[in-house]
Amino acid sequence: MLDAYVPILLFILVAIGFAVATLWFAWALAPSRFNRVKLEPYECGIAPATDARDRYSVRYYLVAMLFVIFDIETVFLFPWAVILDELLLFGLVEMLVFLGILIVGYVYAWRRGALEWA
């Protein structure tokens, strides 16, 4: 009965061996000479003006969450567009209701000033 699990065990061992070998080769072949520039957190040549751990405004997170929420609509629009000919009028009405709710939410957020950066 355990003979059925031998290929799975072999697969797991090969995967772990490959991961360990890859990490070892990367460590062995990588250059290990460090200099001051490489150890700086910002390497584009411009000196950082502030600390990288400064706090961001709540508006930044609000705009980011709104972007994610309104961007999710594309996840629902693509499958709907693919099978629109099968859904007929029902699918069209359902998507119009969905987009209507989405537009109402967008207008609400816009009127409340959630999309203003400053």
List, for residues 60-110, the tens digit of each pLDDT value: 888 888 888 888 877 888 888 899 889 899 999 999 999 899 899 889 988
Q: What is the pLDDT of residue 34?
A: 75
Mean predicted lDDT score pLDDT of the chain = 85
Give Dmax over CA atoms of the chain in angstroms: 67
Name residue, tokens 């400064």: 54
Q: Return the CATH fold of 2-111.
A: Methane Monooxygenase Hydroxylase; Chain G, domain 1 (1.20.58)
Domain ranges of the chain: 2-111
For the entire predicted model, the pTM comes to: 0.49
48, 41 in Cβ contact below 8 A? Answer: yes
Q: How far apart are CA 59 and CA 50, in angstroms?
A: 19
* pLDDT given at position 90: 92
